[in-house]
Structure 1
Amino acid sequence: MAKIRIAIQKSGRLNEDSLKILKECGISINNGKDQLKATARNFPLEVFYLRNSDIPQYLQDGVVDIAIIGENLLYEKGGNIRIVEKLGFSKCRVSLAVPKSVKYSSVKDFQGKQVATSYPNTVKKYFDSQGVEAELHVINGSVEIAPNIGLADAICDIVSSGSTLFKNNLKEVEVLLTSEAVLAVSPKITDERAAILDRLVFRLQSVLQARQNRYVLMNVPNAKLDEVITVLPGMRSPTVLPLAEEGWSSVHTVINKDKFWEVIDELKLAGAEGILVCPIEKMVL
């Protein structure tokens, strides 16, 4: 039986989060320390642990069928690689930054300047779209130090919290693109392996839906039921069960975690009591 081949970053945070989401999909991977290849025990899947920067080429060549990778790297090197699912972790942005002492007004300020970056294609596309010509210095790693040692006037790099820029006396001035981890697919994937991919995507979507929602239970006086149900943004309609105490019901529903607090406030005002919130392990729509 064919196995689908997935590339994952060899080490680092993206590696950890990738393995975590596969585990939440019920996939057990037999990986020992320093292994470059591993096989799942209970799903037709092989894992290749690769350098992050090499993954787009492996996808292009069909050496692997799919990969968990940052959007920013696909934009830089990905060509015709298709994204099949956004995974919601490893969020960052690719940004231009200049020394804090520099007065900045617009992207036109980069005209004729020297910019150090690990993302030359991304920067060139952006500058071309803005009609700006700049000299690019390609650096792999420690880009932030370039202005401090006189190598460049500015940098373009990935930014998460911005603390690294702050420590190097830099300020973020332009966001070129936002990024998160995605599941990407090789243009050379076979039909047989594409069918396995469909099964994997189904599991991933169930996990991602669960991460985005919370299961909520509450006690409501029957006289307030209609008012409470009007507030609820549930999947379809909530489950309403009678309590042992006459005149009361238990209401069960699912609420998006981003809307949770505002909805809870409204529920309390509408008469809900004893509100219990639970995480959801899987959610199949």
Structure 2
Amino acid sequence: MKQRKIKIAIQKSGRLNEDSLKILKDCGISIDNGREQLKASARNFPLEVMYLRNGDIPQYLRDGVVDLAIVGENLLIEKGTDLQVVEKLGFSKCRVSLAVPKGADFKSVKDLEGKKIATSYPNTVNQFLQKEKVNAELHIISGSVEIAPNIGLADAIVDIVSSGSTLFKNNLREVKTILRSEAVLVSPSKIDDGVKGLIYQLKFRIQSVLKARDSRYVLLNAPNDKIDEIIKLLPGMRSPTVLPLAEEGWSSIHTVIAKDRFWEIIDELKAIGAEGILVCPIEKMVV
């Protein structure tokens, strides 16, 4: 009997496409991806990738055309509230924000009462306005939303913001973050029994990659009379490894620390007396 493959949808182009392919590669999955292909198979894992328009992906999941997809959380709020998040992926982070012209007199969301807002995310904006008890008129635009205030089409916009440079170039200022988004692995509410085991395997690989990305392997030398004090600073996977050095009275300590606490912990270790500190990236981390 032919083995069933996972069918996974990713964005056809753009940053999310690149980051999605990278995490699959980091999971040890090799994709035979020719130029301009809409579908590609993995050589070493039962998986098939479909390259789709971002806005079409939720419906492909509902229709059973694909089993999984990598999309932004903002798309789920707009078009996929019935889909379930399998894993948050930590990349392609952005925010959906409200922006107004730089010279606009804006003090609070209440200033939008009776105004016109241009957006590609009407459901998201409507939910936000209902929560804020504000009545405003929406102009739904596909792409280039930021130009709307400059041509008199809208008084404000709601759009995805990463660095804010596009807003700056169009003489707009960000005044309110409506939601924060990152890439997520999603599935339909009901998963096909034929791929549940494979999805579990893929999820396990992804979790191992994500844990490695968020961690650093640290090796250091320390005087034996400082070991207990140093170990208290090191929140390792279970406990640090301590090995004696050839030089009497000294040991080597090995552990894993969170990437976002790296400099804070390193400074404290140096103050205690740690020397020869080496910090290494981790390729995979299985716990």
**What is the TM-score with the length of structure 1 in the denominator?**
0.99
Separation in 2 of the partners of 1:60 and 1:126? 26
Q: Which amino acid aligns with 1:187?
A: S
Match of 1:173 in 2: 175
SS at match of 1:184: strand
**Residue correspondences, number:** 285
1:160 to 155, 158, 162: 162
2:102 to 100, 107, 117: 100
2:66 to 48, 64, 67: 64
2:77 to 70, 75, 78: 75
1:54 to 30, 53, 56: 56
Q: Deviations over 1:89-123 (max 9, x none)?
A: 10000011100101211111111100000000100
1:41 to 40, 43, 47: 43
2:146 to 144, 147, 160: 144
Match of 2:28 in 1: 26
Q: Where in structure 2 are there 5+ consecutive unaligned residues?
A: none
Alignment of 1:271-282 (within 5 A): 271-282=273-284
Separation in 1 of the partners of 2:252 and 2:9? 46
How many angstroms does 1:31 deviate by? Answer: 1.0
Alignment of 1:224-263 (within 5 A): 224-263=226-265
1:283 to 272, 280, 285: 285
Q: Deviations over 1:54-96 (max 9, x none)?
A: 1111112111110000000111000310011111110000011
Q: Deviations over 1:6-41 (max 9, x none)?
A: 001111111111000000000011110011001111
Q: Work out whether residues 74 and 81 of structure 1, in 8 Å CA contact, stay in contact via their aligned partners in 2.
A: yes
Separation in 2 of the partners of 1:279 and 1:64? 34
2:188 to 186, 189, 195: 186
How many angstroms does 1:188 deviate by? Answer: 4.1
Q: Deviations over 1:152-209 (max 9, x none)?
A: 1100000011111111111111111100000001234211212211110000000000
Query: What is the Cα-based RMSD across aligned positions, in Å?
Result: 0.8
Q: Which amino acid aligns with 1:139?
A: I
How many angstroms does 1:129 deviate by? Answer: 1.1
Q: Work out whether residues 61 and 188 of structure 1, in 8 Å CA contact, stay in contact via their aligned partners in 2.
A: no
Separation in 2 of the partners of 1:31 and 1:230? 48
Matched, 1:213 2:223: no
Match of 2:133 in 1: 131
Q: Which amino acid aligns with 2:75?
A: L
Match of 2:6 in 1: 4
How many angstroms does 1:146 deviate by? Answer: 0.2
Separation in 2 of the partners of 1:192 and 1:16? 28
Match of 1:270 in 2: 272
Q: Which amino acid aligns with 1:37?
A: K
**What is the TM-score with the length of structure 2 in the denominator?**
0.98
Separation in 2 of the partners of 1:145 and 1:133? 22
Q: Which amino acid aligns with 2:79?
A: K
Q: Deviations over 1:229-272 (max 9, x none)?
A: 11112121100001111111000000000001010011011110
SS at match of 1:6: strand
Separation in 2 of the partners of 1:166 and 1:130? 26
2:19 to 17, 20, 42: 17
Separation in 2 of the partners of 1:69 and 1:224? 48
Separation in 1 of the partners of 2:81 and 2:241? 48
